Amino acid sequence: MVLCLAVLGVVVLASVAAPWIAPYSYDAIDLKLGPSQPGSAHWFGTDALGRDLLSRCLYGGQISLAVGIVGTFVSLLVGVLYGAISGYRGGRTDELMMRFVDFMYSLPYLFLVIILLVFFSSSIIMLFVALGLVQWLTMARIVRGQVLSLKNAEFVQAARLAGTGPLRIVFRHLLPNMVGPIVVYATLTVPTVILQEAFLSFLGLGVQPPRSSWGTLINDGAGVMGLFPWMVIFPALILAAVLFSLNFLGDGLRDALDPRLHRQ
C-alpha cells in the first residue's frame, strides 16, 4: 500500500508540475527530427511529429487524472444522493428508483457515453460529465444498502424523536457512518473512469488534438508500435502503474476499513 501511494504521488506531482518540469511543450513539433528513439535529449523518444514523448506523457497525465477525479466526483454526487433518498424513503419510492437503476444497468454504459458525446459535444467538460453519469449506479446501490441497514438504528430513532427532519438525519447522521464504503468505492472508481477515457480515445471520442491523455498517446503509438515501440510502451507503462496502484490502494482501504477483519 505504501508503494502504491508512492507511485501515485510521484505521477500526480509530476503531472501537476508539468508546466515547470517538462523539458518541452506538449505541442512543440519538429518535423525534421520525426520519430526518434529514447536518448539523452528525449528520454522517452519522440512521436511521428517530433514531439517529446515525456512532455506529452506529463501533460497527458493532467487530462487522464482530471477525468478520473472529476468523473468519480460526479458519480459520487449523483449516486450518494440517489441511493440515500431511495433507501430512506423506502416503500414504493424505493421500488421505482431501484427499477430505474436496473433499467440503466441493462444498457451498455459506454454506448450511453458515446451518445452523449456525439449529440452534445466532445469537449473535455462533457467527457467529465458523461463518464460520471454512467458510474453512479453501483454507488447508489451501495449507499441504499447502507441506509437500509442504518435507518432503524437507535441513534436514528433518537434523532426522529427529537424532531430532526429527514434531510438532516440523512446528511448529519447516516452519511457520516458510510464514509468507509464510499471512500473505498471512490478509490476503485477512479481507475475505471481513466480506463474508459482511454478506450474512448481509441474511438476518437476522447481528448482532441493537440492535447493528449494517456489513452490518446497509446492510441497514437499502437498504430506504429512495430516500427516505433517506445511510442506505446512508455504511456502504457505509466497508465498501467497508475491503474494497478489505485486498485491495490482501494483493496487496502477496504481491508483497513472493514470492521469484520479486525474482529477475527
pLDDT tens for 183-215 read: 888 888 888 888 888 777 767 777 777 778 888
* pLDDT of res. 122: 63
pLDDT tens for 62-79 read: 888 888 888 888 888 888
pLDDT tens for 105-154 read: 887 777 777 777 777 766 677 777 777 777 788 888 888 888 888 888 88
pTM: 0.80
* Per-residue pLDDT band at 255 (split at 50, 70, 90): low
Quick one: cell of 173? 447522521
* pLDDT of res. 146: 86
In contact, 193 and 67? CB cutoff 8 Å: yes
- Cα distance between residue 34 and residue 176, in whole Å: 55
* pLDDT of res. 13: 92
Q: Where in the chain are the domains?
A: 2-17+43-259
Q: Per CATH, the architecture of 2-17+43-259 is what?
A: Orthogonal Bundle (1.10)
Query: What is the residue-averaged pLDDT of the chain?
Result: 81
- Cα distance between residue 71 and residue 76, in whole Å: 9
In contact, 198 and 239? CB cutoff 8 Å: yes
pLDDT at 260 over 60: no
CA angle in degrees (0–180, nearest 5) for 43-243-3: 80
pLDDT tens for 3-31 read: 888 888 899 899 989 889 888 887 888 88
Comparing 5-9, 92-96, 224-228, 250-254, which segment has the lowest mean pLDDT? 250-254
